[in-house]
């Protein structure tokens, strides 16, 4: 059995599939979404999700995803943890809905945990500086960029 890892080609194709026509990504990376079923349900109601919907995730607490940040949106393509080519969900949160963001260093070196607050919900995103076992480009630089961009969006 060949182990398929998260990769640059899938990241670009999957994120491009939910990109608004007049937007472009300022950065793209991979991460892990950490949320409860209530938050996933709220995201389903808030965002323009294409197919799947929040119910497809159920009460899953950690989900691998590709993340893309534009001026107007925080986009996620959630993939299956075993078969990373299998898309579980597509989520797009408008930046204007984000009311607060916190960035903390994780327990592991090279890890950041970003908590994004929108409406009455919060979503935690775990970001790692490295992309061990994959060909993801610019992961370390993009972890810093996404943290800065999300925090900046909250101050507007």
Domain boundaries, the chain: 8-16+23-155
Query: What pLDDT tens digit does each residue of the chain (156 aa) get?
Result: 555 788 999 999 999 999 999 999 999 999 998 876 666 666 654 443 333 344 444 444 688 899 999 999 999 999 988 888 999 888 888 898 899 999 998 677 888 999 998 878 888 999 998 866 678 889 999 999 999 988 887 765
> Which DSSP state fits 133?
T
pLDDT of residue 47: 43
pTM of the model: 0.83
Residue 85 three-state SS: coil
8-16+23-155 is classed in which CATH architecture? Roll (2.30)
| Separation of alpha carbons 147 and 116, rounded Å | 10
Strand order from edge to edge, sheet including 111-118: 87-94, 73-79, 62-69, 27-34, 121-128, 111-118, 98-105
Q: What is the pLDDT of residue 37?
A: 67
Q: Are 68 and 19 in contact (CB under 8 A)?
A: yes
Q: Quick one: pLDDT at residue 16?
A: 96
At residue 6, the pLDDT reads 87
> What pLDDT is recorded for position 61?
63
């Amino acid at each position: 059995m060949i182990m398929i890892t998260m990769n640059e080609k899938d990241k670009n194709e999957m994120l491009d599939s939910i990109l608004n026509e007049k937007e472009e990504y300022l950065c793209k990376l991979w991460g892990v979404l950490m949320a409860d079923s209530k938050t996933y349900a709220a995201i389903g109601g808030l965002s323009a999700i294409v197919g799947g919907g929040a119910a497809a995730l159920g009460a899953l607490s950690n989900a691998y995803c590709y993340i893309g940040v534009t001026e107007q949106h925080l986009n996620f393509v959630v993939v299956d943890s075993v078969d990373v080519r299998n898309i579980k969900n597509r989520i797009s949160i408008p930046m204007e809905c984000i009311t607060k963001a916190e960035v903390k260093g994780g327990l592991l070196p090279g890890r950041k945990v970003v908590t994004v607050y929108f409406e009455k919900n919060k979503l935690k995103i775990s970001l790692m500086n490295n992309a061990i076992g994959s060909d993801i480009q610019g992961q370390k630089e993009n972890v810093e960029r996404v943290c800065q961009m999300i925090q900046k969006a909250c101050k507007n």
